[in-house]
């Protein structure tokens, strides 16, 4: 197995290569505005560092978000097209799950919450029983509205760090890494679990204003 | 820059991807021969908004891309391995929409080990005529009219020399069609439906204004905002008076005002520059009255008119492939893997070459990163 993992659902542009046992190479950059520019050179670097080529990859795993749309689509479109060109399967994995999995090395001592920045004063979030077990569907909400749902829970992720009132106890990694995404995907695939289809979790409808119509209906 | 010492590479096989607006286009050409032109449009999803909603378009591009590439390959009867390059619209256009196509093209080219060409959408609209009428005469004057642009461009080499002669100072011609159609409750997009109604109307029924045609006005620039407002006011006055709006006459008179100015200025710039070929491209080039009046005026002025068939005039992947093939044929530098979408890519940049291959311009790609991630 040679899994190429990538995630652009958050400000992190992250790529990793995993052989089913361990991470062979990875790249982590944080730049919320340059996903499109950074992703492919990062893939190229990671492959070179691992001494291999893209056509040796046997599968692609991509973070499906939730995340701000424009950046999110860069990773998904790249993964989709790699899959098409290489004829290999493309798997999706919730970006929040990868961040939770990455927090396994942190002493969380029980349930916790993962939150990423959804902009517009909102966070994408979910609750976890442990780093492998999500117990709520990913959602987008204003932090103030979450007080009850996340009360007393430690929080992981840059979205939590932005809102100390709602998330007073922030721990663990700030950003998702494709190394965690790849490791979690490899673990789930080895266990025979189904991953998600590589389709985006937008969680919001597109912004669109329906223009005011003229009241008079002209006869056709 | 002149062609390099290397000989022209004949008949390169190139796949082109276009996502600057609401059409997901994938085309395949061999030199100047069209092999496939697959388009998936999200136009129906925008209809109720009366205009293209960028986020709706971007979402649709992501869903449509892989099936559209597959369809184009099948239609062309070629395999991806045989391609000599992958071209993509790098700009101008809707930032988020462009980025979907650029991401796909980069990943596809990289995975296949083929060179990548990030090209200019406007130059592609001109170059597509090679698929219909053979190699472009050099120089060629181009009138590009669509919902996003209204420009007069002079090109002596479509891969490296495109000069803006004039452009709209406010609305694009296609936008004016959409807005007038909306005021008339004819739906979106406005171009085809106005054209249809206008055929049964009197183009001289109402004297709508011709923008920027005064003696002191910029000779090759356009303005359609005043016309649009004049049409809306005229209709509203009719309605306020409780009279029925003569839809066909309004459509015909409005359309005549637009195409009169477009063709008059296009012919004038050709004469002033001594250029004897005019091509018309962009979605509005499908307009029947524009085609007829342009033909009439070009003939009178001794100018050869070239207008591709309507399907090649609207946004599509074939036009991008056509320009990509010309880049390969003329040995232009491929783009780098960090190619980014540039929503306001200047028309003078026919393509975005990789680092160290800039051809005499120093435009810095720092434009519009803000709205990329809004
Ligand atoms: Zn166009």
176-235 of B, contacting A, C-beta below 8 A? 182-186
How far is the C-alpha of B340 from the C-alpha of B343, rounded, in Å?
Answer: 10
Q: Do A87 and A180 lie in a common domain?
A: yes
Residue B79 touches chain A, beta carbons under 8 Å: no
Distance from CA of B249 to the nearest CA of A (A): 13
The answer to whether A171 touches A103, Cβ cutoff 8 Å, is yes
Q: What is the mean pLDDT of each run of 10 residues along chain B (374 residues)?
A: 59 97 96 97 83 92 98 98 98 96 98 98 98 97 93 97 96 93 92 96 97 94 96 95 97 98 98 98 95 98 97 96 98 96 96 68 34 31
Residue A104 DSSP symbol: G
Same domain, yes or no: A79 and A131: no
A208 assigned to some structural domain: no
**Is residue A199 included in any domain, yes or no?**
no
| Chain A residues touching chain B at CB-CB below 8 Å | 32-34, 36-41, 43-44, 54-55, 68-71, 73-74, 76-86, 200, 202, 206-211, 213-214, 216-220
Specify the residue for token string 């929409």.
Answer: B97
How distant is the Cα of B24 from the closest Cα of chain A, in angstroms?
Answer: 13
What is the edge-to-edge ordering of all strands in the sheet holding B161-167? B161-167, B150-157, B140-145, B277-281, B304-306
**Which chain B residues have a beta carbon less than 8 Å from that of A77?**
62, 65, 100, 103-104, 107
**Whether residue A78 is found in the same domain as residue A19:** yes
Same domain, A71 and A108: no
Q: What ipTM does the predicted assembly reach?
A: 0.94
Residue A206 lies in a domain: no
CA dihedral B180, B185, B191, B192 (to 10 degrees): -150
Query: If you compute the radius of gyration of chain A from its CA atoms, what whole number of angstroms results?
Result: 19
Q: What is the CATH number of the domain that holds A108?
A: 3.30.420.40
Domain shared by A89 and A8, yes or no = yes
CA angle A108, A113, A114 (to 5 degrees): 105
Same-domain check for residues A161 and A109 = yes
B 111-130 residues with CB < 8 A to A: 111-112
For chain B, helix (H) and strand (E) counts, in that order, are 13, 10
Nearest to B124 by CA among B102, B155, B103: B155
Q: Which residues contact B299 (CB under 8 A, 6 or more apart)?
A: B305
Of A41, A68, A207, the CB nearest to B373: A68
Residue A217 lies in a domain: no
Would A52 be classed as within a structural domain? Answer: yes
pLDDT in tens, chain A (220 residues): 999 999 999 999 999 999 999 999 999 999 999 999 999 999 999 999 999 999 999 999 999 999 999 999 999 999 999 999 999 999 999 999 999 999 998 888 899 999 999 999 999 999 999 999 999 999 999 999 998 999 999 999 999 999 999 999 999 899 999 999 999 999 999 999 999 999 999 999 987 765 444 433 222 2
Domain check: are A23 and A48 in the same one? yes
Asked, for residue A23, whether it belongs to a domain, the answer is yes
Spatial neighbors of B1 by CB under 8 A, at least 6 apart, are B160, B359, B360
Q: Total domain count for chain A?
A: 2
Asked if residue A200 belongs to a domain, the reply is no
Q: Is B56 on the interface with A (CB under 8 A)?
A: yes
- The radius of gyration computed from the CA coordinates of chain B, to the nearest angstrom, equals 20
Residue that the structure tokens 């009850």 belong to? A148
Residue A88 shares a structural domain with residue A113: no
CB-closest option in B65, B239, B340 to A36: B340
Global model pTM greater than 0.90 = yes
Q: Enumerate the residues of chain A whose CB falls inside 8 A of the CB of residue B338.
A: 37-38, 40-41
Residues 6+ apart with CB under 8 A from B47: B187, B188
Is residue A66 located within the same domain as residue A126? no
* Same domain for A127 and A33: no
Boundaries of domain holding A153: 97-171
CA B142 to chain centre: 11
Q: Give CA separation, B82 vs B39, B79, B295, B371, in Å.
A: 22, 6, 40, 37
Nearest alpha-carbon partner for A215 in B135, B236, B323, B187: B236
Tell me the two tokens of residue B24: 């997901």
Q: For the segment A52-101, what is each residue's pLDDT rounded down to a tens digit?
A: 999 999 999 999 999 999 999 999 999 999 999 999 999 999 999 999 99
Residues A135 and A83 in one domain: no
Segment holding B46, helix H or strand E: helix B43-47
Q: How far is B60 from chain A (nearest CA, A)?
A: 11
* Whether A34 and A127 share a structural domain: no
Residue A210 lies in a domain: no
- The 10 Å Cβ neighbour count of residue B301 is 15
Residues on chain A touching B48 (C-beta within 8 angstroms): 210
Chain A hits for B59, CB-CB cut-off 8 Å, are 69, 200, 202, 206
What does residue A65 show for φ and ψ, rounded to 5 degrees?
Answer: 95, -160
């Amino acid at each position: 197995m040679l899994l190429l993992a990538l995630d652009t659902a958050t400000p992190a542009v992250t790529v990793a290569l995993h052989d089913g046992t361990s991470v062979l190479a990875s790249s982590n950059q944080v730049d919320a505005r340059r996903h499109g520019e950074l992703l492919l050179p990062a893939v190229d670097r990671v492959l070179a560092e691992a001494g291999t080529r893209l056509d040796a990859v046997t599968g692609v795993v991509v973070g499906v978000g939730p995340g701000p749309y424009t950046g999110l689509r860069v990773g998904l479109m790249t993964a989709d097209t790699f899959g098409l060109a290489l004829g290999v399967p493309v798997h999706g994995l919730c970006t929040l799950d990868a961040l939770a999995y990455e927090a396994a090395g942190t002493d969380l001592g029980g349930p916790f919450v993962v939150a990423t920045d959804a902009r517009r004063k909102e966070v994408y979030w979910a609750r976890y029983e442990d780093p492998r077990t999500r117990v709520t569907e990913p959602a987008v909400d204003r932090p103030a509205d979450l007080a009850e749902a996340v009360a007393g829970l430690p929080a992981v992720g840059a979205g939590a760090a932005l809102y100390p009132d709602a998330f007073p106890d922030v721990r663990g990694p700030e950003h998702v890494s494709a190394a965690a995404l790849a490791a979690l995907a490899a673990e789930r695939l080895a266990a025979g679990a189904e991953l998600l289809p590589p389709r985006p979790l937008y969680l919001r409808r597109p912004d669109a204003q329906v223009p005011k119509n003229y009241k008079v209906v002209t006869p056709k | 820059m002149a062609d390099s010492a290397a000989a022209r590479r004949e008949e390169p096989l190139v796949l082109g991807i276009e996502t600057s607006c609401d059409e997901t286009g994938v085309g395949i050409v061999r030199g100047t021969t069209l092999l496939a032109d697959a388009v998936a449009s999200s136009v129906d999803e925008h209809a109720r908004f009366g205009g293209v909603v960028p986020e709706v378009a971007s979402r649709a591009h992501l869903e449509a891309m892989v099936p559209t590439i597959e369809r184009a390959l099948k239609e062309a009867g070629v395999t991806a391995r045989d391609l000599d390059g992958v071209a993509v619209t790098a700009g101008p256009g809707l930032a988020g929409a462009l980025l979907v196509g650029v991401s796909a093209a980069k990943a596809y080219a990289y995975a296949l080990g083929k060179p990548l060409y990030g090209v200019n959408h406007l130059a592609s609209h001109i170059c597509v005529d090679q698929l219909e009428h053979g190699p472009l005469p050099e120089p060629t004057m181009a009138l590009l009219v669509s919902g996003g642009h209204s420009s007069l461009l002079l090109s002596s080499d479509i891969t490296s020399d495109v000069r803006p002669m004039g452009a709209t100072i406010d609305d694009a011609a296609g936008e004016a069609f959409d807005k007038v159609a909306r005021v008339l409750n004819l739906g979106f997009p406005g171009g085809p439906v106005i054209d249809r109604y206008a055929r049964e109307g009197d183009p001289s029924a109402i004297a709508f204004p011709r923008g920027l045609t005064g003696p002191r006005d910029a000779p090759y620039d356009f303005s359609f905002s005043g016309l649009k407002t004049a049409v809306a006011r005229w209709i509203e006055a009719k309605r306020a008076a409780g009279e029925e709006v003569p839809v066909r006459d309004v459509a015909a008179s409005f359309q005549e005002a637009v195409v009169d100015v477009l063709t008059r200025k296009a012919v004038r710039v050709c004469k002033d520059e001594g250029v004897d070929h005019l091509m018309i491209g962009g979605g509005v080039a499908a307009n029947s009255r524009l085609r007829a009046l342009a033909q009439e005026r070009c003939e009178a002025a001794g100018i050869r008119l070239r207008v591709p068939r309507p399907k090649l005039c609207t946004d599509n992947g074939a036009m991008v492939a056509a320009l990509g093939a010309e880049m390969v044929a003329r040995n232009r530098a491929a783009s780098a893997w960090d190619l980014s979408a540039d929503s306001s890519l200047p028309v003078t940049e026919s393509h975005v070459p990789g680092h160290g291959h800039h051809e005499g311009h120093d435009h810095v790609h720092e434009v519009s990163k803000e709205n990329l991630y809004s």
